[in-house]
Amino acid sequence: DEVKITKKQKGIKKSYTLTSNTSIITSKELLKAACCNLAESFETNPSIDVNFSDALTGTKQIKMLGLTSPYLLITEENIPSVRGASQAYGLSFTPGTWIESVQITKGAGSVINGYESISGQINTELLKPLNDIPFFLNVYGSTDARFEVNTHFNKKLSDKWATSLFVHGNARVAKNDMNDDGFLDNPLGKQINVLNRYQYYNPESGLV
């Protein structure tokens, strides 16, 4: 006889291995938000507020515990990514299909990653070359002339080396003014992101 025990993965998990108040947003939770980029991946999370800081350019700013982005440390695989002048558009530079999970730490975090985490820290983990599928393609288009394409290429070079190539592009090409007030409902723009990464994995030495 065979007994199978299965468990569904939760969208938001609590980390019990860290002393800080850290929640992990998995890819299952990100599917609920249908996010195009990192800025839109917090719509289902009540701890973080995402607001338009400038309606003219469409830039977004996030708040945690009532404090804005300068007091919030935003990292990508524990490396500071959105800081300084990049806070205006930095959240849109990470496409949603690249994200594996998001770790949210409320309150003051560790000084290991920087001194900016007064209100909290947001760390984004990207898809790993060893775990991702060989090929992925996603194309999106809407009636208001927004178009988006995402594609991933993954190849295992050897038992210890793997590589990934991520390509993302989006554009809004039509001018929409549904209420005829002379202002566009959505700003026009084009964006292209390309990421090529390599992963080394040696289980004998523990190096990743």
190-203 confidence digits (pLDDT tens):
999 999 999 998 88
Buried b (16+ CB within 10 A) or exposed e, 34-48: ebbbbbbbbeebeeb
Backbone angles phi, psi at 180, to 5 degrees: 55, 45
- 200: phi > 0 → left, psi -120 to 50 → alpha, else beta; which? beta
User: Are residues 114 and 141 part of one domain?
Assistant: no
Same domain, 76 and 166: no
34-38, 193-197, 204-208: which is most confident: 193-197
Q: What is the pLDDT of residue 164?
A: 95
Compute the distance between CA of residue 159 and CA of residue 165 in angstroms, rounded to an integer. 19
* pLDDT value at residue 199: 92
Domain assignment of residue 5, yes or no: no
Note whether 27 and 83 are same-domain residues.
yes
Check residue 84 and report its DSSP letter.
G
pLDDT on residue 180 = 86
Reported as a pLDDT band with limits 50, 70 and 90, residue 174 is: confident
Residues 120 and 54 in one domain: yes
Give the structural domain span for 192: 135-200
* pLDDT, tens digit, 9 for 90 and up, residues 120-140: 888 889 999 988 899 999 998
Assess whether pLDDT exceeds 70 at residue 88. no
Q: What is the spatial distance between Cα 46 and Cα 66, in angstroms, rounded to a whole number?
A: 12
Same domain, 32 and 121: yes
Higher pLDDT, 97 or 40: 97
Please report the pLDDT score of residue 109 as a whole number.
61
pTM: 0.77
> Same domain, yes or no, for 120 and 151?
no
User: What are 99-112's pLDDT values in tens digits?
Assistant: 888 888 877 665 66
Domain count, the chain: 2
pLDDT for 171 equals 92
Helix (H, G, I), strand (E, B) or coil at 90: helix
How high is the mean pLDDT of the chain?
Answer: 80
Asked whether residue 206 is assigned to any structural domain, the reply reads: no
One domain for residues 46 and 109: yes
Residue 108: the pLDDT is 65
Check whether residue 28 and residue 99 sit in a common domain. Answer: yes
